[in-house]
Structures are given as structure tokens and as C-alpha cells.
Amino acid sequence: EKYHIRRYGFHGTSHRYVSKRVCEFLGVSPIGKKIIICHLGNGSSMSAVVDGKCVDTSMGLTPLEGVVMGTRSGSCDPAVVQFIANNDHMTVNEVLTMMNKQSGLLAISGISNDARDIRTRASEGDERCLLAFDMFAYKAMQQAGSMIASMAGVDTITFTAGIGENDWSIRKAFCDCFEWLGVRIDNNKNREAVGNGPQVISAAGSAVTVMVIPTDEEYMIAHDVERLTKNN
């Protein structure tokens, strides 16, 4: 209350567009549906949507909270800030700049924040690049796991943004973590769902529908502008 701190979430335009498209594409009502959106790009965030409304997000007051990102660490023990500041004689602002701009995939891989560069080196066996993807998928899985618990279930998991739309290996690594929940992806569909529009990539009989939906924030903004100008 004192500081008016609140969770802003971020990437809301993308999450709103994609969660809407999930139901349109499947031809179902959002009412009664529990959806997780994985917006995985240079900035990554996840949202939990129930009855068409966002009930949980991975980013907080700032975009630093949540999963591992291109240059952001994502969540970690807040005392890390004090530890690094004391050890390296840095200010809090300097440590937070490091956690926002020099961490995440960039720091773990040691080469780049660009998933394509890391994928190339990982396929050559570079251990730090392999670790970067393992950590990326693991933290996303942890976040989704907590959202599944808070929603008491999940009907649909949807991937979007640069990595979510294009990197089938990350999608597979993430989904394999949820085999215990009955999540099954169709490996062929998953590999083929790269830059070719909305797709269902789960296998027949999967307990959860898994999808890839390209985000379209520009469309959502234009749609909102039209709605607001018509109402006024």
C-alpha cells in the first residue's frame, strides 16, 4: 500500500490476443476453460487465463520477475542483489541493470541472447548452450506447474513469440516435463509448426491441448483503437 506496488504482468497485448485466438481456433467458449499462454521470446512471460480472464502472470512490478529470458535472469532469491552489490562494490541499480541486460540466456550461454545462435552452438555440443536451453525450459515448466496448481488444472497450453513459435526443441523439452499430467505432443506436428500459422501440436488422446499461435500485438492494438474510437 505504501509504495503502490502492483503486478503489471507485461506482454498483456500478446496474452490477450493469443488467449482469444485459442478459443476462436478451437471453436470453443472461453467460459470454463483454463489456458496457459507461454510468450517465449527475448522477453518471456507466461499467463494463466480462466473464463477468458487473466488470473496469474509471471512478470511483476517489472519485467524481471518470472522465467529465464534473453538477457534477464528471471526470478531468483532477492538477497542475491545485496550479495553481489557487497561483493563487487556495485550499487543496487548496477546489479539490477546486470540482471536485466547481461543475464539470462546471454550469461548462461556465454555467447548470445539470440536463441538461434545458441541453438546452433548447442547442436555442436556446446555445454553452456545446452545448459541455457535446459534452464530456460525448466524455469518455464516450474512457472507453468505453479499456474496449473493455482487454476486446479489446465485445458490448453499455447506457445507464442519468437522462441515459442519457432523453436520446436524448447516446446518438446517443456511438454515432456508434463508427461505425468498426460500431455502428449505429436512430434511431427511439433516440428512442422514453425512459421505456418496457428496449429494444434498435441497428439490424439493428450489430456491437454497444446498449440502454437503466432502473436499479433499490432492487430490487438488496432482492434482496441477501433473499439475505443467507435464507443466515443
Decide: is 42 part of the binding site for ligand AMP (CB under 6 A): yes
Please count the other Cβ atoms lying within 10 Å of the Cβ belonging to residue 151. 17
Site string for ligand AMP, 69-88 (x = CB under 6 A): -x------------------
- For residues 11 and 46, give the distance between their C-alpha atoms in angstroms, rounded to a whole number: 9
Query: Which of 65, 162, 213, 220 forms a contact with ligand AMP (CB under 6 A)?
Result: 162
Decide: is 114 part of the binding site for ligand AMP (CB under 6 A): yes
Q: Are 175 and 148 in contact (CB under 8 A)?
A: no
Query: Which of 41, 63, 74, 104 forms a contact with ligand AMP (CB under 6 A)?
Result: 41
Report the relative pairing of strands 53-57 and 156-160 from DSSP bridges: unpaired
9 torsion bin: left (phi>0), alpha (psi -120 to 50), beta (else): left
95-103, 161-169, 182-190, 222-230 -> range binding ligand AMP (CB under 6 A): 161-169
Q: Please, what is the minimum distance in Å from the beta carbon of residue 77 to ligand AMP?
A: 26
Considering only residues 170 to 229 of the shown chain, the ones binding ligand AMP according to CB under 6 A are none
Write the CA distances from 231 to 54, 148, 225, integer angstroms.
Answer: 24, 37, 10
Q: Please, what is the minimum distance in Å from the beta carbon of residue 155 to ligand AMP?
A: 24
Q: Are 93 and 160 in contact (CB under 8 A)?
A: no
Q: Please, what is the minimum distance in Å from the beta carbon of residue 118 to ligand AMP?
A: 8
Write the CA distances from 159 to 40, 44, 167, 190, integer angstroms.
Answer: 7, 11, 10, 11
37-45, 48-56, 124-132, 178-186 -> range binding ligand AMP (CB under 6 A): 37-45
Q: Cβ-closest residue to ligand AMP? A: 162
Q: Using CB under 6 A, list all residues that contact ligand AMP.
A: 41-43, 70, 114-116, 119, 161-163, 166-167
